[in-house]
Every structure is written in structure tokens, then in C-alpha cells.
Structure 1
Amino acid sequence: MEKELRKFFQKKTLVLSLILIAVYLPSPGKSEVNNLSNTKDNNLYADEFSALSPEIRHEAIGVLVAQFIQKSHYNNIKIDDELSSKALDLYIKNLDQNRMYFLESDLENFERYRYQLDDIVKNKPLDPVFEIFKVHQVRVRNRLNFAITQLSNEPDIFTDEYYTFERSEEPWAKNEAELNEIWRKRIINDVVSLALEGEQWESIQNILLKRYERFIKRLDQVNNDDVFERFMNMFSNAVDPHSSYLSPRNADEYRIAMSLSYVGIGATLRTEEDFVQIVNIIKGGPADFDGKLKRDDRITAIAQGKEGEFVDVIGWRLDDVVDIIRGPKDSTVKLQIIPANALPGSPREIIELTRGAVKLEEQAAKSQIVNVKKNGKDLSIGVIEVPGFYRDYSASSWRNSNFTSVTRDVKRLIGELNQEGIDGLVIDVRGNGGGHLTEATALTGLFIKNGPIVQFRKSTNIRRNPPQRLDDPDPVSRVYYDGPLAVLVDRFSASASEIFAGAIQDYSRGIIIGQQTYGKGTVQNLYSLDQYFRKKDDKGLGQLTLTIGKYYRITGESTQHRGVYPDIVLPSNIDINDVGESARENALPWDVVKRTRFNASAPIDSLIQTLKNYHNLRSEIDPNSQYQISRIKANERIRNIKTVSLNIDKRRTARESEVSKALADENKRRKALDLQLIENLEDISEDEVLDIQLDQAANIVADMVVFADLKNPLTTANSYNN
């Protein structure tokens, strides 16, 4: 095998894929692991998991992954004690992120492996990895058995106690007694949450008993590949957060998700603690069309059909949840969810969706016109939403003149908007996680004459791999749109979106509006490991995703880690401290390379400052903007809640208070706009859902249109009515 690996890395040229795939926060997942104390009970439980052990194929895969990391990773990685230490921390965090299972003594015991994991992956048996996992299994089972015994008696839900549900920064429990106390409160919290839903004790007891028993059942379903994947994924994450390993089964799931179509609801999922959480809503899918399911919502139960009974899925394996969400085309599935930013104990919502084929090519750009009144004049601002940088490479490689391309679609939409007589244009790339690099450069080319768009480097070894300059792929084509332009971004604008926004900013071609972008300035390649072994393995070897390159703006600055800073910042519900590359462990740092030559338009700093001033003045008196700021503060307050009362009356009062505040904010906005007041938040129709950021961006572009007609906007601004 070693001979095969050496031959491969000496003679095989690795194919670089410049497809910048949208990457969202992979969940570390929550498992609970721990080190066994030498008690009779724990040793008894340990025997139940003795069947879990590394297979010979796992050691072979580990060696291959280690070779790939050392030979092909962008950062010229050394597999050493430093990497081993990071991997151990990530593995423990992955298993018990919320510190609900391990004891302090377990962590002390695991320290003996801190500087051994690098050697284990390279050429030694993986037994320590499995030993840690078995400890985790024992601790989890102990906790669940404790929880089941606690359900024998109805707890007091009118107590004055409090429960800290966010424990990731809390100290590890010193002994079983401390864990028992943590779990006693957790169980009361589970009871209170269900009681707030209107459930009675007998029903609550039955729901929780089934939930905890199901957790135990799933412990018995863990196999050797599950353990190995969990560790190898964390070992890869220790290199950087976009490098990862998938087992054969999950590699198949990935291929299904990335295929041109599959039947489901059109959402990317992950595990977060005991819940399955929504990571992303796929454009063109059932959930996108319905509009109710949101990023970071948590699924608590699923029902089949319109009349089907809900099945509690808290604590389920992710693949099992995916299996029951998928189903026949045009069939109904109902999700019970906890909305993102919901106050603890808030009512769960029911979302009914019709399963359908999620076709990625349907994620096409679309346009609209926003009318803005300025100085008594009606201005038409065109808006083109670009959900992804898509391109049908198969059709284009066969020289199909009608192949699908985001650049082609945007070009067509600009033509249609120009026929409508637009005065300015907004390109909306909010939530756009990336796509094809070719499309990012081609789309930029619609707005500039010609020149470089981005720089790309395959290795930190600058002498061996100097940055490559990627230019406008159609330099002889004329500028297709030369009017007032803005690019609207948010924290989820990543990868190819950042290349496009950064180039527009660097050329002074338009202004960037919104929020600091994600900061993903790296490129990954996907390796199917089966093809690197001569002897076929019936179970498969899985796949490795590895960071093999990094891109830079034409100014030499990377978008990695920092993203693109907007010229005009808009308030947002997205917390940049929780979302984005800078929030991820082991993310590659920001750096610079040599600036490349390009011809930018005249600086627009003074114009940007003027636009910013007018925007700020307008926001201070705009009811919608003030409403937005108020709700952002409320959501931030809710996000910062880490501890809740275990008194049901206090919980109900807190929930009602938040609802009252939200209703008051809504009616304050309505009153200022002379709209009809409402009695309940449910009275808000779907047609009334606001896109305040888009309205703000359209107003800013309208300001640009007016200023373009003024010879000196800085001296004549007093005559301008915004």
C-alpha cells in the first residue's frame, strides 16, 4: 500500500477543481464521550460496546488521508504533535459540545493521547480513538438511564430553580453527582417545554420516555464506520474547517445532494446538539417556494401526509431524519419546528410541504423593479437576484450554444430591464454561497471594460506556485451595463460572490451595500478514495475534501477570513460573531500577495460618504428601518439567553412579554405608515413580509442616480430632497 501511495503522489497529477462550492457551518455534531471511571457499572456497560473496534481498512484510509494532507493541502501541512492536539480537542468537542456527559477526570485521562493522534493516523492502530468513543457511549447511556428513572415521578414545574442550557463554556462536571444535578434540571426543562405546548403530565411522561429510550436504541446502531468517520472528519477539520472526510454511506448522500435533481423538501440539514437543524434553503426547492422554513430552524417532529401522526425526532441520527423527510414526489410531509431565535419555551410551528424534485438548474437569476420617489420624480431601480454562480459545464463542453449560465441569464435580464427604462441596478447576492469561478469572472465582465478579476494560488510555496491572474473571459465584449450599480451582500455571501463583489469594489465600478461577507477565500478538491487502491473494497473507502488553493483580490488582499467589507453597512439579524469564516476553528488566516495591474475607474470615496450620510439621515426617520433595528436588538437579546427559569409561569410570562414587544414594534411601524393595526402577529399576511435591506439598497442607488445629474453633489446636496 505504501508503494502504491508513493507511486501515486510521484506520478499522478491531481486535478484542480475550480468549482467554489458553497460551504456552511458543518455541525460538530453532538455526541457525548467520556473516560470511564473504574466503577463496576461502567465496566459492565463498556462490555456492551466492546464490538466497536477499528478495522484494517480504517488504518489504510487513515494513511491515505494523511498522505493527501501532507502532499496536497494548500498550507503545506505537517502531521505533528500540534495537529494532534487540535484534533483531540475537536474530537472531544464533537462528542460532547455542551459538556453534558464527560467528567473532568475523563478529560484528564484523554490527555495521554494529546500528542499521539498524529502517529496513530500515520502508521499505528486506531484503538485509542475507539476507546474514547466507547467512554462516550457509556456516559451517554448512564445519563439516559438516569433520565428514565427521573420520569417515575412528576417534577415540580413551579420551582424557583434555573437551568443553564448553553454549557459549552461551563466547567466539566467533577463527579456523577454534579452530572445528576445538571440532568435533573434538564429533564425538568424538557417537561416545562412540553407543558407550555399544552401537554399533560401523562402525555409528557410518555413522549420523554420514548425519546430517551430511542436515544439508547440509537447507541446500539453505531457501527465502526460511524466512529472512524467522526474522528477522521475532526482530524481533517484540525487542518482547516473546509477539509473533511465522509464515510462511504455519507459520501453517497453527498452525491445525491449535489446531483441535478432529487426528491425532498430542498433543505440542507445538520445535527446540532440533539436537534436536526436547517443549514440552508435550496433555491428552487419546495421549502424555498413555501417560504416558511428558515435557516437555523430546528426540527422536532415529522409527520407523513396531511393527517399523519407526528413522530418525535429529537436525538435521531441525521441520516434517519433525511430518510423520512424524503419520499414520493408530490406527497406531503409536515415538520414541527422550533423557529430560529425563538425564546426558550416558545410554541412550536407546523410547516406543511409538498415533496418535489429539487433541480439545481432552477436556481436561476430573476429580476424585479423597485420604484423610488426622489425629488418628486419616480425612479425605477432594477434588481437582479443571483442565488448562485451556476453553469452547465456538460452542455457547454459539447458546444451547446444554449447552455445554462448565470452570466447569460443576468445579461438577458439586464436587457429586459433596460427595455423597461431602469435608472439604476442592484445585483443581489445575499445568501449566495458561491458556484463556478468562471461565472464569477464572466459576470464581473458585464460591468467592466476588461482586465483581471481575481488571483489564484495553489500553495503557500510562493516560489513554486506564484499567484495566477484570472481575467475577464470575454475581454473584447463591450460593457453591457454602465449605469449606477450596487451589489447587495450579507454574511452568507461567500466564495464566488465575494470574488464578484470584491472586483466591483476594486474597479470602483459600483458600491457594495449590506454586511461583511462570509470570508471563504479557499478552494477545495474532492477525492474519491476508492480510485487510489488497486484492490476494490466492498464497503467503499469514502471521500476526502481538501483545501488546495486560495484566491486573492486584484489588490493582493485575500477575502479569506475577512470577506468583503461593504461601503455602506446595513443592519442585519445575522451575527457575524457566530457566522462566517472568522467564527470557525482553524480557519486559514487572511494574507496578501502582490497587487496585479488593473485600470480602475476614478475613486468614488467622496460619493460613498455622501450616500452614507443620506442613508443614515433617511434611516433615522424611516419607520421600517427603525422597526428593523428594534427587532434586531430583540433577537440579539434572545440569542444571548443561556439560562432559563424552570418555573412554567415565569417561562410563560417571559414568552408573552416577547410576543407583546414584537406586536408593539409591528403596530408602531404600521401607525407611522398609516397602515391598519393588528391584534396578533399571525394577522400579518405573506404579502406584507418586508425586505427592508432591499428597499434601503434601492434608495441608495436612487441617490446615485440623482447625484449623477448634479455637477457637484458635495456642494449642491442641500438642494436635494431625499
Structure 2
Amino acid sequence: MKAHHTLLLLALVAPLALLARTPGTDDNAIPAGPSADQATTAKLVHGLLSDSRYAYRPRALDDALSQDIFKRYLEALDGGKLFFTAKDVARFAPYRTTLDEALKSGQLDPAYAMFALYKQRVDERSTYARKLLKQDIFDFSGNDRWYYDREDAPWAASSAELDKLWQQSVRNDWLRLKLAGKQPEEIRKTLDKRYANLAQAVAELDGTDAFQSFLNAYTGSIDPHTDYFDPRSAERFNQSMSLSLEGIGAQLQKQDDVVVIREVLPGGPAIKSGQLEAGDRIVGVGQGASGTMDDVVGWRIDDVVEKIKGPKGTKVRLDVIPPEAGMDSKPRRVVLVRDKIHLTEQAAKAKTITIPARGELPAKRIGVVELPGFYQDFEGRRSNNDDYASATRDVARLLAQFRAQKVDGVVMDLRNNGGGSLAEAVELTGLFIDKGPVVQVRESGGRVSVENDRAPGVAWDGPLAVLVNRGSASASEIFAGAIQDYGRGLIIGETTFGKGTVQNLVDLDRWPANEKPRFGQVKLTIAQFFLPGGSSTQNKGVVPDIRFPVSVDASEFGESTYDNALPWTRIAAVPHTRYGNFTPLLARLDALHDSRIAANKEFQWWSQDVAEFRAERARKYVSLSEVERRAERDKDEAKRKQRQAERKALGLKLDPLAVDSSDDGLQAGERDVVADAAREKAAEDRPDPLLRESAAILADATALLSDSKQLSAQVLPETGKATHWAE
């Protein structure tokens, strides 16, 4: 079987309340069992995951796996253990060893029963939290604590025990708002709406949510990166990979009962029309130039998005109310023609950093490519579209600009790049090496194939560094690992995520040959990848040549945190060019790095913040003492002001968020949409000491190699003459 797309992606699990849902559903009661299509889907997924012809590590669907699925489904529903009691979990106990039979037969009634009780319990907790707001429990003079990390805690023995937990949680919410300067009545109003919205969001979940959540408990029991996407989720996933969609070009956000425009995107119909702006509230949607308008107030955001999106060239009508007007105001009618929207904010971007002269080391200009993902428009490439989205094509264009600007080196910034297309990982590596193996792929039967860069020549043959962190995963690790194996560039930062497996998207509608999507897709682990040198990145990740302080502990984030992750292993290396060996250079680079950061305020502040953050995370609780919390808040505020003053005195770039970056006590959707979007944009312009230090390290390397023929001969052997590090 040949699946659609080969992927190397770090899957991020969406919160349960944000899963895709079926549009146009008025009654959100959880059905007793699955629909006919869902029953068929469960059987198809079982066929895939239990067959070694498809899955890299198939597992028989038996009682042992059933218990694993049960555990993961409970975690998906109530990972914080704030809704179910031990009695509820005991009530589910008969399902522990029967979920395997339920999946095989497509009779998923137990999953729907658990989901229905989850909805009931959330409603009960919301009601209880709202009642607490009327009680006299908001005295913060004692030494109480709210232990928010309940992953390893036992289930509450009773509703009364849950009551105590919720009292502490509500008190913490109240204290946060109080410290932010809010008055009691305003706090009470904000929190009452928050808890009501929680109940409403979960009440809107339906059988589609129950089904997708349960199937992902099954897929997640096979391995951490196998996922099920229902048809709507699959469409969104493909849009994220292609960086394009067809619609009006607006980023939307739910606020209370209304969908609000958070941002109008460049080049789209919304911004071109001049009739829509951030903060506008959408209260009605209609298809075509005339006809019925659907009142979408109170709708779920994905249902509103589904109504607004549509084929290029078609019309959509929107009724909007501006942010300054009351909700009872007469809406303004806007008619737009849908178009293809390119999501340029998520594409590769370039900037240049100038590293000033330091003693005998000359000034250097370093080009930076920020790459958030290894994206590719699979359909566009198959159709031979000239403008299909491709990370490699975009980076090649940016490298051409750097060549024209005659920069002295290039840093590839792959921080928090979770991966993407395997083909893009191979082709992007080929921009820096002149043909050769990039990654080895071992299938379930043990067969090993080699993915090669077959394109002669390079797009950049000068000094190169790759900046990574714990969020750099999968395709990012292939690229960084191959660059390291080839000795083509320096790897700088933190040890990467450690995801060393390959996934394919399998379309479940291909077998029945459905005209419209009915069954969804499975992102299925089909292979494990190995670097040219034979090492896997699985679990261990890529270890940098020059290391920055660890911001996230390996026990908290990364492949090593998954209880069913594949172990690290290695296979035989394949012949590949060794352009350089940076080992003789690393001690001198480390010494220069240590000397520089000792005088680098921004880097020191970042290191301090990381240490404080990790200490707070390790504590796993927050104090409910107002005196203690206010002292912490005042200390943080004083620290921000002092740092900003020092930046100004030293002529450093000011932090655009330092003026007001204290905790406002609000959650997403409670803030002013326009102000929040502006703040998010401003955050992109904050000082980035890690990126600047990476550029400085690369500048050091180029200067040292240029100054010493002996060192250059050690680091860049004869096989490395294809690159021009030391010119």
C-alpha cells in the first residue's frame, strides 16, 4: 500500500474542547453509540494498526492494549483529575478489558458512555465554581497552596474532595485578578463568565468529538505519533502543510458567544475590500450574492469557519458589528469573493545580524533563516503548479538574497520547528551539500532504504550554523543531524526533541472510493529514520556542538517522556562526504562564547529567567498567600523596570513588552482581541539573545579559520574544499 504523504512531524495534541466537530448539529447530546460511518472507521483503523504491512510497530488488539486505551482515554477526558471521582473511574472498570472487542466490532458504546458522563461532570463542576463566587472564601491571609499539577495524584475519593480542589483553584483565579488590580465585582463577573463558558464549550461537544478522542486514545496506545483525523481535522492538517486555504483571509477567534476577527491577512479578500478590520464581530453568514443568512451567534468557531470558507471565486456574505458598537446594533452587510489565501506568516523568513568587530576579530554580517516548519503543498506539487508552497524553494530564494548581499555566514533557525515533509527535509539538506545520502529509512520488516540528495551543486557553500532547541523535532532533526554528520555546519543550542520515526497519511476513504470524505485519515508510523552515520535521533535527539542552558528538562518534554516511545538504536553508516570536523575548534568557540555571555546582559537575563521558570515548574504549586504573591509580583515588576532601564543605559534594544508584561489574570478569549493580537505581534520583535549569540559563534568560527591556516587544515580537510568557510 502506498500512502499519500511521508511526514516527519511532531504531533501536538489539541485540547479536547477544540477538536473538530460536525457542523449544523443543534442537539449536542452524546449518542449511545457510533454512527454507521464511525463504526466502519473504527474497523478500518484497527485493520491498519494491527497489520505489519502498514504499521511499523503493530500491536494486537487484546486485553492488554484495551487497558492502555482505557488509561489514555481517561487522560484525554480528565488529565487534571478535576472532574471524575474514584467512584466514577470504578464505574468504568468493566470497560478496561472490553474496549478491544468494542473497536473490532465497531460498537463503541463504552466510549460514548464515558464521554457523556464527562460532559455531565464538567457541567456540575462549572455550577459549583459559580456558586463559590457568592461565598466568603476569598481570604488570602493564610499559607494555603494550590497544587495544580495532578498528573500523578490519585482520583478524588468523593465529590466533597473535588469540592476542596475546586475551592483552591477558584481562589487562585480570584487572587490572580485581584493582584492585577481588579475589584471584587469585576472579578466575580469575569470568573462567572469563565466558568459558564467552560460548561458551554464542553456542552457543545458531540458524538464526533467522542469518537475522535477515543480513536486517538487507541492510536496513541500504538505509538506517540500515530493519530486519527476526522475529515475536518484532516482538511485543517493539509492546509497547515500547504500554507494555503480558500476563504476570505481572516484569522478568527471565539469571544463569549461571538466569533471575532483577530487579524485580516495580507493579500486576502478581507483586507483588499477595506470593509473588515480586527475586532469586527461576525453575527451572520450567507452563501452567494443573495439568499438566507444564518445567525451564527452562539455557534462553535469551527462551524462558523466552515460556513465562511469555500471554493475560490464564490461569494460569501457576512453580517458584522464593529467593536465599538453594542451587540444590539444593526449589523453591516459585507459581500466578499473567496480566493486562495497564502499563509505567509508561517513561511520561511530572513533577517541579517551584524556582529561588530571584537579585538582582532573583524565585523561580520550573518544571514538568518527562520523556518517554522518543513511545509509542502503536496497537491500543488503533484499538479505541477508553479507556485506550490515549499520550504526548500522559499529557503533557496532567501539564500540567493544572502549571496547577493555577500553575507559572511548563515544561521538556520529551527527552534520549535516540529517537522513536516520528509521530502522537504531531504531537499533542504541538499541546498548545503553536493549530492549524497541524507537519511536512512528502516521499515517494519527491516528493509533499509536511503533518501539521497540527487541535485548537483549547492545553494549556499559558505559558513553555516543550525540553531535548535527541545522543540526542534523530526524533520528538523534529520536536517540538523545530517549537517552534523557531514561536518557541514555547527549545531548550536539545546538537545532536540528526539523523534526518530516516519509517518504517512493514510486516506481511509481510498478503499471505499468515496466521492466525499467520510472516514478521515490516519497519520501512521511506518518507519524509523537514521542519520547517514547510522545513529538514530530517537529518544536521544541531536546533541549540539555548542550548548546553551537547558530551558526544558528532558523529563518534562520530548520523546523521552512517552511511555511507549521506541528505544534508541543505530544501524550501519552509509558512505558520505565529510566536509569538516569542528572538534579542534569547539574549545576555542566555547571559550569565546563563555567570555561574551559573561558580559551579555540579555543572555544573562534569559539564563536567569530559565532557571526561575524551571524552579517554579519543579515546585508544582502556587501560594494562595496574598502577601507572598504580591511580593513575587512586585519583585518581577521591579526586575522588568530595572532591565529596561539597563537596556536604555547600555544602548540595547528595548523590550516592547517590558512596559506591561505582568499577569493580567485573564485567559485566552477574555482579553481585548485587537490589543491581544497587537501584543502578539510586538512579541516577535523582542530581543533574542540566543539568535544573536548563535550568529556571534558562527562569526567567531569564520574569523578563527580565516586567521589560522593550521586550524583551517584541521577543521576543513581536503574533502571540504567544496565549501568556503575560511575565505
Specify if TM > 0.5: yes
2:449: which partner in 1? 468
8 Å Cα contact 2:3-2:506 kept in structure 1: no
The offset of 1:713, in angstroms, is 4.6
2:658 equivalent to 1:661: no
Q: Which amino acid aligns with 1:15?
A: A
1:510: which partner in 2? 489
* Cα distance change of structure 1 residues 403 and 183 upon mapping to structure 2, 3 Å threshold: closer
Q: Which amino acid aligns with 1:711?
A: K
Equivalent residues in 2 for 1:402-417, closer than 5 Å: 405-417=390-402
2:604 equivalent to 1:626: yes
2:709: which partner in 1? 711
Q: Which amino acid aligns with 1:495?
A: S
The offset of 1:512, in angstroms, is 0.6
Per-residue CA deviation, residues 438-467 of structure 1 (Å, 9 max, x unaligned), is 3322332233333211111232x21xxx11
Gaps of at least 5 residues in structure 1 are 1-12, 32-47, 275-280, 287-302, 310-314, 335-354, 717-722
8 Å Cα contact 2:361-2:703 kept in structure 1: no
8 Å Cα contact 1:329-1:356 kept in structure 2: no
Q: Please give the TM-score of this superposition, normalised by the length of structure 2.
A: 0.75
1:372: which partner in 2? 356
The offset of 1:700, in angstroms, is 1.2
1:551: which partner in 2? 529
Name the CA distance, whole Å, in 2 between partners of 1:706 and 1:305: 48
The offset of 1:199, in angstroms, is 3.8
2:723: which partner in 1? none
Q: Pick from 233, 252, 255: which aligns with 2:216?
A: 233
Name the CA distance, whole Å, in 2 between partners of 1:572 and 1:177: 41
Per-residue CA deviation, residues 576-621 of structure 1 (Å, 9 max, x unaligned), is 4433333345333322222212232353311123212221222223
2:428: which partner in 1? 443
8 Å Cα contact 1:386-1:432 kept in structure 2: yes
* Cα distance change of structure 1 residues 510 and 651 upon mapping to structure 2, 3 Å threshold: same
Name the CA distance, whole Å, in 1 between partners of 2:43 and 2:462: 56
8 Å Cα contact 1:490-1:515 kept in structure 2: yes
1:8: which partner in 2? none
8 Å Cα contact 2:3-2:505 kept in structure 1: no
Per-residue CA deviation, residues 363-418 of structure 1 (Å, 9 max, x unaligned), is 14424242331415222223333343345556655667776644444444434433
Name the CA distance, whole Å, in 2 between partners of 1:561 and 1:317: 38
2:312: which partner in 1? none
The offset of 1:65, in angstroms, is 0.9
8 Å Cα contact 2:436-2:576 kept in structure 1: yes
Per-residue CA deviation, residues 485-519 of structure 1 (Å, 9 max, x unaligned), is 21122222222222121111101121111122222
Equivalent residues in 2 for 1:242-281, closer than 5 Å: 242-255=225-238, 257-258=240-241, 260-261=244-245
Name the CA distance, whole Å, in 1 between partners of 2:615 and 2:461: 43
2:570: which partner in 1? 592
Q: Pick from 169, 177, 183: which aligns with 1:194?
A: 177
1:701: which partner in 2? 698
Name the CA distance, whole Å, in 2 between partners of 1:241 and 1:702: 39
1:646: which partner in 2? 624
Q: Pick from 57, 62, 79: which aligns with 1:75?
A: 57
2:512 equivalent to 1:528: no
Q: Which amino acid aligns with 1:710?
A: S
Q: Which amino acid aligns with 1:704?
A: A
Name the CA distance, whole Å, in 2 between partners of 1:539 and 1:436: 23
The offset of 1:232, in angstroms, is 1.0
8 Å Cα contact 1:365-1:406 kept in structure 2: no
The offset of 1:331, in angstroms, is 9.1
8 Å Cα contact 1:266-1:358 kept in structure 2: no
1:486: which partner in 2? 465
The offset of 1:84, in angstroms, is 1.6
Q: Which amino acid aligns with 2:694?
A: A
* Cα distance change of structure 1 residues 549 and 422 upon mapping to structure 2, 3 Å threshold: same
The offset of 1:569, in angstroms, is 1.0
Name the CA distance, whole Å, in 1 between partners of 2:72 and 2:684: 45
The alignment-based identity, stated in percent, is 34
Name the CA distance, whole Å, in 1 between partners of 2:420 and 2:237: 16
* Cα distance change of structure 1 residues 606 and 264 upon mapping to structure 2, 3 Å threshold: farther
8 Å Cα contact 2:656-2:685 kept in structure 1: no
Name the CA distance, whole Å, in 2 between partners of 1:688 and 1:118: 51
1:26: which partner in 2? 13
The offset of 1:633, in angstroms, is 2.0
Structure 1 stretches of 4+ moved >6 Å: 264-270, 315-318, 320-334, 400-403, 676-680, 683-688
Name the CA distance, whole Å, in 2 between partners of 1:202 and 1:324: 38
Per-residue CA deviation, residues 76-116 of structure 1 (Å, 9 max, x unaligned), is 33222332222111111111111112222333343332222
* Cα distance change of structure 1 residues 710 and 196 upon mapping to structure 2, 3 Å threshold: same
2:2: which partner in 1? 14
1:113: which partner in 2? 95
The offset of 1:124, in angstroms, is 6.2
8 Å Cα contact 2:204-2:300 kept in structure 1: no
2:591 equivalent to 1:607: no
Q: What secondary structure does 1:171 align onto?
A: coil
Name the CA distance, whole Å, in 1 between partners of 2:200 and 2:599: 58
Per-residue CA deviation, residues 603-644 of structure 1 (Å, 9 max, x unaligned), is 331112321222122222322322221222233334445323
1:169: which partner in 2? 152
* Cα distance change of structure 1 residues 420 and 529 upon mapping to structure 2, 3 Å threshold: closer
2:557: which partner in 1? 579
Name the CA distance, whole Å, in 2 between partners of 1:240 and 1:379: 46
8 Å Cα contact 2:655-2:687 kept in structure 1: no
8 Å Cα contact 1:361-1:390 kept in structure 2: no
2:41 equivalent to 1:61: yes
Per-residue CA deviation, residues 677-713 of structure 1 (Å, 9 max, x unaligned), is 9999318997973121121112111221222121345
8 Å Cα contact 1:443-1:500 kept in structure 2: yes
Name the CA distance, whole Å, in 1 between partners of 2:567 and 2:157: 36
Q: Pick from 395, 408, 418: which aligns with 2:403?
A: 418
1:141: which partner in 2? 123
Q: Pick from 74, 96, 104: which aligns with 2:86?
A: 104
Name the CA distance, whole Å, in 2 between partners of 1:423 and 1:665: 32
* Cα distance change of structure 1 residues 494 and 379 upon mapping to structure 2, 3 Å threshold: same
Equivalent residues in 2 for 1:292-441, closer than 5 Å: 306=279, 319=302, 359-360=342-343, 363-374=347-358, 375=360, 377-391=362-376, 405-441=390-426
Q: What secondary structure does 2:356 align onto?
A: strand
Gaps of at least 5 residues in structure 2 are 19-27, 257-261, 268-275, 283-297, 310-315, 324-337, 662-681, 715-727
Q: Which amino acid aligns with 1:549?
A: A
8 Å Cα contact 1:514-1:570 kept in structure 2: yes
2:205: which partner in 1? 222
1:682: which partner in 2? 659
RMSD: 4.3
Name the CA distance, whole Å, in 2 between partners of 1:676 and 1:535: 57
Name the CA distance, whole Å, in 2 between partners of 1:155 and 1:210: 19
Q: What secondary structure does 2:50 align onto?
A: helix
Q: What secondary structure does 2:624 align onto?
A: strand
* Cα distance change of structure 1 residues 539 and 506 upon mapping to structure 2, 3 Å threshold: closer
Q: Pick from 627, 637, 661: which aligns with 2:615?
A: 637
Tell me which moved more, 564-573 or 136-145: 136-145
Tell me which moved more, 236-245 or 413-422: 413-422
8 Å Cα contact 1:66-1:122 kept in structure 2: yes
Q: What secondary structure does 2:466 align onto?
A: strand
Q: What secondary structure does 1:245 align onto?
A: strand
Name the CA distance, whole Å, in 2 between partners of 1:19 and 1:214: 36
